[in-house]
A and B are shown apart, each in its own frame.
Chain A
Amino acid sequence: MGATAELYLAVSAGAVLGSVARALVAIVAVASLGDAFPVGTLFVNVVGSFVIGYFAALTGPGGRIMASTRLRQFVMTGFCGGFTTFSTFSLETLMFVRSGDVHLAAAYVSVSIVTWLLAVWLGATLAMRFNRM
């Protein structure tokens, strides 16, 4: 199998794992916390941002772990990409607006962007600290 085909297969396999995990999180979140606020989506997007930040710094230049391109694509492009979702986030925001909950929509967008970026920063920072140990 060609190297390019192997990368696509790695991305696909990671995306399947990430997406099924995201669907499971959604089921658990709705069952335990209800569907008034999209906690499940917020959770996967925050955790996925943390993981990609951590893994990128851990396996990137100066990182502690040597990882193949295939493994990096599997984890970062595949798993993290499949676990997180911008389209569901957008749809949930639109649904808040359509039902007249403009304040909830604004709160959801604000909380999301701040926690996503904090999570990726925290992941990268912790991995760089580990790299220097």
Chain B
Amino acid sequence: MLGAVTDLIWVALGSALGGPSRYFLSGLIDRRLATTFPWGTIVVNISGATMMGALAAAAAVKGLLPLPAAWEFAAVGFMGSYTTVSSFSLQTLMLARDGDFTRAGANVGISLIACLSAIAVGFAAATSVLP
């Protein structure tokens, strides 16, 4: 019970940083590109998937995250909150609502293919690079 509460505190600390990081980076990208295509969310989710892959390799393959707290903070808290499905869903719906089915489909295709590739790359890179 106490362990679960401690875990949740680490999740809270990680997510307190992850959410604002996403807000900052996606906002920055969307303002710079000034387009209705959600590149900000895409970049956040791809970078988050890459780091999540590296974290998982560090934890599972290399045993470098021996403390559950480290995983709760970095993976469940920070990465979980940094990446988002809800904004992806809403932005896909908005593109479809505008009748822009090509770009709605592109958002789905790019997000899925890029994030799943990114996590495999992050996992493989960390497995080969880490001691």
Contact = CB atoms under 8 A, between A and B. Distances in A.
Chain A bound to chain B: yes
A51 B86 contact: yes
A37 to B, nearest CB: 17
Contacts of B23: 7-8, 11, 73, 77, 81
Nearest to B18: A15
Given A87-B80, A94-B119, A12 B16 contact: yes
Contacts, number: 171
Nearest to B41: A86
Interface residues of B, number: 49
B67 interface: no
A52 B90 CA distance: 7
B42 to A, nearest CB: 10
B52 A91 contact: yes
Nearest to B97: A124
Contacts of B115: 86-87, 90
Given A53-B90, A84-B84, A85-B80, A94 B7 contact: no
A87 B79 contact: yes
Interface on chain B toward A: helix, strand, loop, or mixed SS?
A: helix
Interface on chain A toward B: helix, strand, loop, or mixed SS?
A: helix
Chain A interface residue number, banded: 35 or more
Interface in B83-114: 83-90, 92-93, 108, 111-112
A52 B86 CA distance: 6
9 cross-chain pairs, A with B, having the tightest CB-CB distances, nearest first? A15-B19, A19-B15, A84-B85, A80-B86, A120-B89, A49-B89, A86-B83, A87-B52, A52-B86
16 contacts: A11-B20, A19-B14, A26-B76, A48-B85, A76-B87, A77-B23, A80-B87, A81-B87, A82-B18, A85-B80, A87-B45, A88-B80, A90-B116, A91-B49, A91-B52, A93-B119
